[in-house]
Structure 1
Amino acid sequence: MGVDVDGFIRDGYAVVRGAFDQDTAAHCRELIWAELRRRGIREDQPATWPAHEHIDSLDGEPFAAAAGAPALTEAYDQLIGSGRWTQGIAAGRAVSVRFPSPERANSGYHIEGSYGPAGGPYRCNVRSRGRGLLALMLFGDVGPQDAPTRLVSGSHLYVPEFLAPYGEDGTVPEDCYWRPSVLCRPMVHATGQAGDVFLCHPFIVHTATWPHTGTAPRMIAQPAVHVRDGFAVDGSDPAPVARAIVAGLTMATAQL
């Protein structure tokens, strides 16, 4: 069945419900809790819970199984192209745990970087060199009260015109590379059940949210799905990621 390609090009994301099974999600949570316990954070002791914990050191079969689930590899093929995305998606090295807390998140609206030296600062260019997709993988149920990631629907179409002048070398995505009015567009929250995955265009504008008023930690991974050599933006690239970039450039030209 696959993903809604037209919706992805229009909105900048596609949702794969039940992409990986509940047992895999549970095993991922177990590994996350093991690492949290190593840091002094106990599941049965909320007093030890911080507002947020980032984990970039986990490996293991459950994370590989989640990121490589058949429903997802089919979606990667559809959105990036068969043979163009790189294997070994490091879901366990991009884990974000948000605990119930009124504390404000430490990141505002942004797009993801794609390439650069280890430890950053990462850069991005209009061809999205290095990054094919941003995956938001839910290892537990995430409701509106659990500080879900907020996506600005259609915002990916407004980013290419700001990246294009930087050419192949690209730029560090630390400033606002979109028109302020983009933040008036419809907002979508990455909510769902354990095993659901949001596959996002590299240029989608998104943010963490707060407060977390739920009762359990929110556990997700935010790995990059890498692409070999980036995308062509001259209209010759059939990948939906590339088609969306071209649509954004065309839209900007039409507004001149």
Structure 2
Amino acid sequence: MDIEGFVRDGHVVIRRAFDADVAAACRAVIWTALRSHGIDRADRGTWRIPKVEVECPPGGPFAAAAGGAALLDAVDALIGAGRWRAPIPAHGGMPVKFPSEDWPGGTGWHIEGNWWGGEDYWTDVRSTGRGLTAFFLFSDIGPDDAPTRLVSGSHLFVPPLLAAAGPAGMSGTAVAERLRPSVLHRPVTHATGRAGDVYLLHPFMVHTATWPHSGTTPRMMSQPGIAVPDGFDLDGTDPSPVARAIVQGLTLAPER
């Protein structure tokens, strides 16, 4: 794994973090959950809504997807062994996107927040509560399948804004709005890959959902946070790549 690339770019992908059989079993559970929304796997006429949120139960194939050695080793390397809360919750709320030209909602640049602030999720410069964001690809996601768009290196420009906000922090959407246009013009990466791939994102990675979904099959991807309840120390004593990136970012002037 490219640790220095993660510090520089804010993301890394673990290819084949879980195998195709596990991915297929996860999709089967997701399709079962979609039945309560009147969506039938065999009847494309029922795929009318561009995005449907479903709840998937813990355990089973989702536990297997989140428990692979390569993935766990990568999380240990980026956060530090014993510092994050296991297991990784690859199940839970699942936004399933269907092929559609209609706007699915929920698009817009943001970083993930760690607590609910009334109208949005908020976070602070220590990233209290979140060590990484993980994208679990349960279906193949190509460039036509509404892949999430990541602004490479954007995580380095977020710490000065959050530091200025103090312990109260800032909402994830407000962070991105304060960064425009100086950061969002940077090169982007699309979270594409095969079912079984997992992207690991720095908690301050600026990203957005995209549309339309002009592919032919539903896009199935979960995006859980990997919890670090106490956040990161920023006095230079924390050797984790996540903390190193925050400290590096604090040397930059706030971008507006």
What TM-score do the two structures reach when normalised by structure 1? 0.93
Query: What is the SS of the residue equivalent to 2:91?
Result: helix
> Retained in 2: the 8 A contact 1:133–1:200?
yes
Amino acid across the alignment from 2:196 = G
1:198 corresponds to:
199
2:168 corresponds to:
169
1:217 corresponds to:
218
Aligned partners of 2:62 and 2:120: how far apart in 1? 26
Superposed CA offset, 1:195-237 (max 9, x none): 0011000001100111111110010110001113100112111
Amino acid across the alignment from 1:152 = V
1:87 corresponds to:
86
Query: What is the SS of the residue equivalent to 2:64?
Result: helix
Question: Which shifted more, 7-16 or 224-233?
Answer: 224-233
Deviation at 1:45, TM superposition (A): 1.4
1:16 corresponds to:
14
Deviation at 1:134, TM superposition (A): 0.6
Aligned partners of 1:135 and 1:226: how far apart in 2? 11
1:131 corresponds to:
130
Deviation at 1:120, TM superposition (A): 7.2
Aligned partners of 1:56 and 1:7: how far apart in 2? 34
Query: What is the SS of the residue equivalent to 2:24?
Result: helix
1:185 corresponds to:
186
| Pairing of 1:23-38 with structure 2 (within 5 A) | 23-38=21-36
| Pairing of 1:36-185 with structure 2 (within 5 A) | 36-49=34-47, 50-106=49-105, 107-116=107-116, 121-175=120-174, 176-185=177-186
Aligned partners of 1:5 and 1:177: how far apart in 2? 28
What runs of 5+ residues in structure 2 fail to find an aligned partner? none
Question: Which shifted more, 178-187 or 4-13?
Answer: 178-187
> Retained in 2: the 8 A contact 1:29–1:139?
yes
Aligned partners of 2:226 and 2:85: how far apart in 1? 7
Amino acid across the alignment from 2:14 = V
Aligned partners of 1:4 and 1:246: how far apart in 2? 19
Aligned partners of 1:120 and 1:30: how far apart in 2? 34
Superposed CA offset, 1:125-178 (max 9, x none): 000000000101100111001000100000001111111022223232231242
Higher strand share: 2
Superposed CA offset, 1:79-130 (max 9, x none): 000000101222111322110001224221111011348x974320000000
Question: Which shifted more, 173-182 or 39-48?
Answer: 173-182
Deviation at 1:251, TM superposition (A): 2.3
Two-structure CA RMSD over aligned residues (Å): 1.7
What runs of 5+ residues in structure 1 fail to find an aligned partner? none
1:250 corresponds to:
251
1:241 corresponds to:
242
Amino acid across the alignment from 1:204 = M
> Retained in 2: the 8 A contact 1:56–1:95?
yes
**Count of residue pairs brought into register by the alignment:** 251
Query: What is the SS of the residue equivalent to 2:253?
Result: helix
Deviation at 1:252, TM superposition (A): 2.4
2:4 corresponds to:
6
Question: Which shifted more, 139-148 or 107-116?
Answer: 107-116
